Structures are given as C-alpha cells and as structure tokens.
Structure 1
Amino acid sequence: MPRVTVRRRVRRITIGERTSHREDLLAGEEPLEIRVGGRSYAVTMRTPGHDVELATGFLVSEGLVTDGDQLAGARYCAGSPGPPGTGENTYNVLDVGLAPGVRPPDPALAREFFTSSACGLCGKASIDAVRTRSAFEVRDDPVRVDAALLVDLPDRLRAAQDVFSRTGGLHAAGLFDAATGEPIVVREDVGRHNAVDKVVGWAAARGMLPLRGTVLLVSGRASFELTQKAVMAGVPVLAAVSAPSSLAAELAAETGLTLVGFVRAPSLVVYAGGQRVVDDGAGHDVVGHTGAHDQHRTGDAA
C-alpha cells in the first residue's frame, strides 16, 4: 500500500555547528488515477489515504455527482505494477462506478494531463469548463458566524493535523460548525485542493450535501478552484489563513459565498459576503486604502 509518510536519510547543516546525519519523515506523494466507469478521467498527485473520499469530492467539484448515493462503488485497479517480480498492486488507480441513471462524464471534459498537487484545475480542456455551475445555492444560507470564533479555527485545525505535526509538509482543510466552532472533519494532503476534496467526499458519502451552516477552513491561500469547490458543496463560508486571489473574491461575490482571508488571531479580512460575519465587540469602521497584505506580510503557505 502507498505510504502516508516516508523516512529518508538526510544531512542537517547548522552554520557554525557540527553537521549531523539522521532520518527525516517526509509527507508521502504519489499519483492517483481516477477512472469513472472504467474510463480514465484525471490523474492527481496526492498523499495516499482517504482515496475514495478524494475521488468522491473531486467528482462533486466537477459537477458529476451531488451525493454519495450517486456512486455505485469504487475499487482499486492493478494499474502500474510494484517492484519487478512482486506482482504488487500500487493502489494508485481507483475506478469509480456511477449509480444507474447518473450521466457519465463527457469524454471531451476529461483532464488532458495530470493534476499536480499545486494545481487542481490543470488539464481542463477549455476555459468554459473551469466555471462549473453548482446544484446548490449558497446565497440564501442564513448562517452567521462570530469573528472571534473564526480567528480561533486555525488553532483547532492545526491541533487535528497529525501528519503535519510529524512532517511539516501538508496542507489541511477542515469543516467546522459555524455556530460552535466544533470540527466536523479534517483532512490533510500535499495538495490543498485534494484536502478539500477529501472533506467534501467524506460529507457526500454521509448524505450531508449541501453543507449549510458550516465553515470550510483551508491552511493556505484561497484560490479560485477552492472557492469553486466550496460553492459546489454548498458551503456558505470559506476561510483561509492566507490571501485569496482576485478571481476567488469575484466568484465568492458572484455566488453569495462569504470569503474570509488572513484568519490569524486576533484579526481577519472579509472579502465577500460580509453580512454573515458578526463582530459583537466591533468599534467604528476605519476607512483607508492600506492593502491587507501590508498588515500581513508573513506570506502564503504555498
């Protein structure tokens, strides 16, 4: 089976001190080919684990399914063999079956090349295919979330990042109850989009879509693709510890999603859907032109 973590011998150099040799623990990264009904649909670089959730969430974000019941099952295929002579399955090819009556994907929309751990939209066959219409409406979700609760979420997310604590090399996505801040599910992956897909796939398998009344927190920046994934899953509030992109903010405003960035105690920045963010201890608003990045120069967790 693919490994979530891998040990590697390294040489640690500290200027002015003795060089040391030791074993380091790295986050695993391997390809996963997602097939739908036996036909290859996409290949993504991911951290092994929760692969069925990843594939399910990915298909939700692609607009192919909206519920786990629309899948007939999933199975690993032989794919590329393991080491010569072993006959081992590398568990890097997953074939997902669609339930009767669910329309299969248009072959023309299949990814033309692999999706890296840094790019979840790579391989889309056309610009039009990037914007996928959601089956769920987030604009009318009446949820409200306290700003003080939002700034506490990154610490709660980090506390649940088991593999990150051992490797320092993974992104995370966490789904939280907007009223209590309690974590519902947290997933890790070398790809931020994969971590979100695993969260959405987990929820879809339990019939929880749309994810009304929740906050989706991501450990890096909020890109267009992550914003789209949130909308496709019916999430009303997307929060990120770093900055959003311009397209992410535009899509959030267009769809009625609340988008919050630079969520780092004691502050945050609201980019869209500000009516949902409540600050009971708010003072008077200060009008100015200083960009958010001028106050948060620590950069993006890439």
Structure 2
Amino acid sequence: MGDEGRGSGYAVVLGEALVDLLETERDGELIYRQAIGGAPLNVAVGATRLGADVRYVGSLGSDTLADRIASFLREAGVGTTSIARVSVPTTLAVTTFEGAEPTFQFYGEPPSYSLVRPDDVDEEMVAGASVLYAGSIALMRQPFQAAARAAWSVPGPLRVFDPNVRPKLLPDVAAVNALRELVEDYFATADLVKLSSADADVLWSGATPEAAADRILGLGARAVVVTCGAKGALVAVPDGSAMLPAPSVAAIDATGAGDSVMGALVHRLLGEGMPADLAGWQRYVTFALAVAGLVCERRGGAVAMPTREELTARWGALD
C-alpha cells in the first residue's frame, strides 16, 4: 500500500476529446481512418477499461461526431455527467506517421475541446476524487485553462499531469517559452508528472530524459515518468531513478501509447495509492509499459485501450 493510504475512489480527468483522422493505405490508396481520441479522453478510457472509476470533464461540440464521442465514453463506462456541450464543430486531428509514431495537425477554431469554463467544474466532485488528471493541449486555450486551474487548486486528490506537447501548435520560440512556463507551474505541485522524451526535447531544447526528470523534481513534483518509446521509460523520485525496458512488440501504431501509460498509472494510484519508494514506482511503471505494448500492437487511439483480461491473455499474470 502506498504512503497516502488511498486504496479506492474515483479519478477526475480534465482535457480534450476530439476525432483523429489516421492516415493509412488501403488498396494502394491513401485514406484517413476515423478514430475517437484526445490524450485525456484516452487516459479516461484506458483507466476505465482496467477497472477504474473515472469521471471525465470536457467540452464536446454540437455535431454528429460529438454525439459519437459522448456515446463512446458512456459505452466505455466513463462518467459523462460533467461534459459541456458547445455550439461549434468537433475538432479534427489529422494524423500522419513515420513508422508507428504519429504526428498531429489540428483543425477547428475555436477548438471544441477548449470551451470548458470554471463554472463547469464541480469542485465538490474534484474534492472527493482520489486522483485528478490535467494536462495536454486544452491547457493552451481559454477558458479551459482557467477551468483547469480552478480544479487543480481544489485540495484533496493526488494530482497527475501530462504536458503532451504538440509541436504543430508551437509556431515559434515565444510559444515554446509560454508553454514551458505554463506546464512548469503545474509540475511544481504535481504528485506525478508523465511526459515523453519528445516532450522533454521540445520544452528544454534537447534535454535528455534524465535532465528533464531532475528539473521537474527540482520544481517540486513527487515523481516523474518519462516514456521513451521502444526503449521503455525512466522513472524518477527524489531518492533515485531507474530506466525500465519496454516489452518487445511488433508495433503497428503508437497512437495513444503514452496515454495508456498514464491511464495505467491512474488505475494503480486509485487501487494502491502513491508508492512509498522507487521500487514501488518501478512496479507501477512495469505494469504500465505492458499496457502500452499491447496498445502498440493495435490500431491506435482510445479503441486500442485494453482490459485486464486482454492484458493477462497477452502477457500472463502481471504484478
């Protein structure tokens, strides 16, 4: 059991939901396959499919695509009572690939995911949560930014954060600097920060995972996990760090793999609380990397998030 003594409860996940158009080839023709996505939505679905109780806070548009997102969340078992519906089309993320790694270009102004207001945040629900997740591209826009700050300031839950940097939304050095200032403010009060090595490279001009973890811990975070694709993940706490290998898989699509790591960590935090030491975090992250490995073997996004039964069938019993 972790040092927080929390072993149950629910998570609140704030952030974007959108539709990915994933580039693929069929019969020699380049086409785009539609998939429901958005990093926070992926986290919510990933944790729920592993058995967690998750309440999603976000804004959805007024079109058929938004209706499909809402239905998908309900069918996945994610709590949807805090979704705000807004009168704009659903944001699209056109996704291209280099190998299995995705690159995203976003379409829709204003973004349908950015219109959650502070008044839409149920502070009583946040205060009663065991885990609060915030992060990703929704934080870059108002009024969502103000809504997230309102939720983050509510005492009670463990706070987990993922910057989920998207270079296509950062046109110049000033934009990178503004994002770094924004996310470092969250890092300072986070119980867990999860980011990718690519995020670290953008935020701190080529920083290694180790250097990024040291900086984030120095700001005040209690634990940092840096995912490094097929190389695995670095986990760091004030008392030490460890590089953990990823399982060997035949990856076909890494879309949502990092989000599945966060979903798995949210699931573990709900079930067992904050680990007491580095060894505890290593156990959590090893489990999360097994989840991500299975996600990479599937066509990506929220639909790739596995259940515990599917994990056991693929990997056998997991600690």
Under TM normalisation by the shorter chain, which class is it? under 0.3
The TM-score normalised by the length of structure 1 is 0.26
Task: Identify, as 1 or 2, the structure richer in helix.
Answer: 2
The TM-score normalised by the length of structure 2 is 0.25
Which structure has the larger Rg? 1
